[in-house]
Structure 1
Amino acid sequence: MSPLLRPLTLRMRIIVSFVLLMVAVMGFVVAAEQLDYDELRAYVISRSLHDEMAHLRAALADGRTPTLSPGSELFDRQNVPEDLHAYTPGYYSIGAPDVWHLLVFDLDDQRYYLRQGAERYQYLEHVIDAYAALVILLCILCAFWIGRLTAARVIAPITLLADAVQRKQTPFPYQEARDEIGVLARAFARHSEEAEQFLHRERCFVGDASHELRTPLAIISGAAETIVHQLPHDSHLRASGERIVRTTQEMQRQLSCLLLLSRDPQRLPRQEVQLRPLIEECMARCQPWLAGKPVALLLEAEQAHSVHTNAELARSVLWNLIRNACQYTDRGEIRILVRGTTVCIADTGPGLPPSIDPQQFQRFAPSLRESGEGLGLSIVQRVVEHLGWHMAVESSAQGCRFTLELTPARTPTRQG
């Protein structure tokens, strides 16, 4: 392809735009410089003197005493000052443009001299200055308009590409372009495809791992339940067996939660979920963590209030938060308050460790691997984002308060 036929690169577009802008500005400047302000001033004063001369000639021809305008003087051959005798008919600016002006004319073989002071023409200076300011303002406005127009043309491809990326529009525009915009569009498309492939692999892995783990967990759970039923009630192994049963059941629920998190939020099955029975179920499951501790678990909830959501994910959020509160509160109370679609879980425990940011829980934080609470809070955060809910956290040495707003404030975004 000939270099003249190749599309301009973004760099060349900017250069050409600035060159055109400077050409336009310099055109205004050159046009303004073509005006001779002295000639303009002389023309205006000369026209004013000629207009007044016409009135004077008419008055003199009729034999009337002429009426002069303020600042004007009229002489004839008898009373003309000596320094004006030498002037022939015509217009003259005496001394300097701002001293005085003279118009000499003849009427009936009589020569007259009309002289005006420069004071009456001082307004011309202001007019000329205003004209110069107007020219400068027009140059600035034109430069602004041209700059805005060219900038819009240069940035338009970037704006369209950014909008397509934000809306996840595929395929991205300008992928066939040969300039920098095309390179950027192809890079975005490549990275978007890689991200989609990674997301697909992650979802496949989570689904496959969850399905593969379900079978051995079901076997372990069934065997543990059988052992618990066969053990005598006074056996010291009975508590361990019950713990195995509870742990496998929790793992099965977590696997179900992970499977749901791997789905598109728009395709999640949703139904009306009664909040109070769901919370009471979680409170009953938390009793082993409260055994032997002076902790009161209290619930204040409306009996019939429900929320339209996924039951399993809602149960996972409430269960993880209530379980953490029961597990880490050694004395005092845990209060669960439900008002409409808002659920507040407050405890009198030690609060979150300093290593945890209440606004952004990080999975598998180094300081949380031993305690295990980092994974639970991370799952809570992921589920909250997956459902489009909002969660606020307040933590201090006197305890934690988790406030959940269960009404989606926006359309849920796709999560990995």
Structure 2
Amino acid sequence: MSNTLLSRVTWAMTATVALFVGLMAVFAFSIMYEQEDELADQLVQIEMHRLIERIEAGEFDTTRQPLEIGPRTEAWLAGTAADATMPARLRGLAAGPHEIEIGDRVLHAIVADSSAGQLTLVFDATDNEERVKRFGLIMLLLWIICLAAGYWLARATAGIVVGRLHAIAERIAEWDPDASTPTLQRAARKDEAGRLLEAFNRMQDRVDRSIAREREFAANLSHEIRTPLAALRTDIEMISLDARLAPEQQRRFERMAHALDEVGATIAAARALSRPRAALKREAFDLGALIEEVCATLAARAAAAGLHIVNAVPAGHFLHADRYALQIVLRNLIGNAIDHAAPARLAIRLEGETLVVADDGPGIAADELPFVFERFHHGRLVDQTGTAEATDADHGLGLAIARRVCEQQGWLIRVTSATSAAQHGTRFELVFDENST
């Protein structure tokens, strides 16, 4: 028998129908059998009562045995003649009703006293028993018919209920996302649940390998690039100290240094995003000092865009968290303000245990606000409207990276914004987990 979910549901429903109909058939047969017995006993008792009345009235010749009463009913009076004609099984019965089988015959008898002597009345209930047997055979036939009908009905119902799952399992069983998976291992389980489980296991293995390769690539990239970037940053700083350089050349070297800082921050972000949560590095650090450090790296960009940054977080407020992860989040939030809010004023402050980064720029439209943390959202808007050319600032990755880092760290980041003339600006709130405060 097939071990698929479809077959199991079919046979389970069929067994339920068979059990229910079978119990009903047995119940009906039992009632029929008891009713036939009770009917025969009542008939014998009524006939005995009438017989005694007729004997008392002298309507019978008691010398002739047995007494003919009616169809399938006979009676005997105790005596020599009765003993000669009465079947041996009926002799010596005690007073009261009896059920006796003689060969293929089923007799219902009753023994009672009368003025003429002891009476034994017998009713041949063989036809009644045959009727009960025929009823039982009919019930058995109906049970078989219901069993067959129940099977086909259950199969049709199971096809409706689990048909889609069965089709999906068949389709997935034919799709092999990993050709290296042994065929015998894939065919080990034939039911839908087993096929789906095997397919999901193969997919999970591929995802795990992909994540492992991503983490390995990020680690290798960080290791291979950080050293030459540091050397290049040092050389640029040394060259920029030369007093003979013109102001324009000084600014160019400063932009190069900031560009290198951006590359380093991008590599750090990639490595942080590929890091498993179990490997998070928590340490206590001065939050105010960290914010000052991040603001200093972005000061040139902010000044060029007209963004005035105010750090209202006092020094000496310590936070126990991953400092590099917080650097990534702050750099992206401040960078987003530089690209989309400037010229404006950006304030960074603590409200209780919540870090708030708020600007008084033009704000974000209400219909775009739910999508600001999606990757490439701003780029899609630019492409759809066709009103501006996409730039590096329009890639829409900064806020997506910030949310991804927050999710990895167990932090909550949320945004509100207003665009009216009376009140405008965007407010980001960063809520740290309990272990950070």
TM above 0.5? yes
Partner in structure 1 of residue 190 of structure 2: 178
Q: Give the distance between the partners of 2:368 and 2:224, measured in 1 at CA.
A: 34
Change (3 A) 1:284 1:219: closer
Decide which of 289, 305, 326 is 1:277's aligned counterpart: 289
Partner in structure 2 of residue 391 of structure 1: 413
Structure 1 residue 195, shift from structure 2 partner: 1.0
RMSD, aligned CA: 3.9
Farther-moved stretch of structure 1 (300-309 vs 269-278): 300-309
Residue 334 of structure 2 is aligned to residue 310 of structure 1: no
Residue 348 of structure 2 is aligned to residue 322 of structure 1: no
Partner in structure 2 of residue 13 of structure 1: 8
Q: Identify unmatched segments of 5+ residues in structure 2.
A: 43-114, 116-153, 166-184, 383-389
The 5-angstrom pairing of residues 142-153 of structure 1 reads none
Q: Give the distance between the partners of 1:336 and 1:223, measured in 2 at CA.
A: 33
Structure 1 residue 217, shift from structure 2 partner: 2.5
Higher Rg of the two aligned structures: 2
Residue 375 of structure 2 is aligned to residue 362 of structure 1: yes
Change (3 A) 1:301 1:225: closer
Normalised to the residue count of structure 1, the TM-score between the two structures is 0.58
Q: Give the distance between the partners of 1:304 and 1:199, measured in 2 at CA.
A: 38
Partner in structure 1 of residue 399 of structure 2: 377
Structure 1 residue 297, shift from structure 2 partner: 3.0
Cα distance per residue 1:154-189 (max 9 Å; x no partner): x9xx9xxxxxxxxxxxxxx99843322322222122
Cα distance per residue 1:262-293 (max 9 Å; x no partner): 22221122111222211222233333234377
Q: Which amino acid aligns with 1:381?
A: R
Partner in structure 1 of residue 428 of structure 2: 402
Partner in structure 2 of residue 73 of structure 1: none
Partner in structure 2 of residue 218 of structure 1: 230
Partner in structure 1 of residue 267 of structure 2: 255
Helix, strand or coil at the partner of 1:253: helix
Q: Which amino acid aligns with 1:19?
A: T
Structure 1 residue 21, shift from structure 2 partner: 1.0
Q: Give the distance between the partners of 1:393 and 1:409, measured in 2 at CA.
A: 23
Q: Identify unmatched segments of 5+ residues in structure 1.
A: 47-107, 109-146, 159-172, 411-416
Q: Give the distance between the partners of 2:194 and 2:303, measured in 1 at CA.
A: 65
Structure 1 residue 23, shift from structure 2 partner: 1.4
Partner in structure 1 of residue 21 of structure 2: 26
Q: Which amino acid aligns with 2:330?
A: L
Change (3 A) 1:343 1:200: same
The 5-angstrom pairing of residues 132-171 of structure 1 reads none
Normalised to the residue count of structure 2, the TM-score between the two structures is 0.55
Structure 1 contact 276–301 (Cα < 8 Å) conserved: yes
Q: Which amino acid aligns with 1:394?
A: T
Q: Give the distance between the partners of 1:361 and 1:299, measured in 2 at CA.
A: 27
Query: Percent of aligned pairs with the same residue?
Result: 27
The 5-angstrom pairing of residues 322-341 of structure 1 reads 322-341=334-353
Q: Give the distance between the partners of 1:202 and 1:364, measured in 2 at CA.
A: 24
Farther-moved stretch of structure 1 (346-355 vs 304-313): 346-355
Q: Give the distance between the partners of 2:13 and 2:305, measured in 1 at CA.
A: 76
The 5-angstrom pairing of residues 65-144 of structure 1 reads none
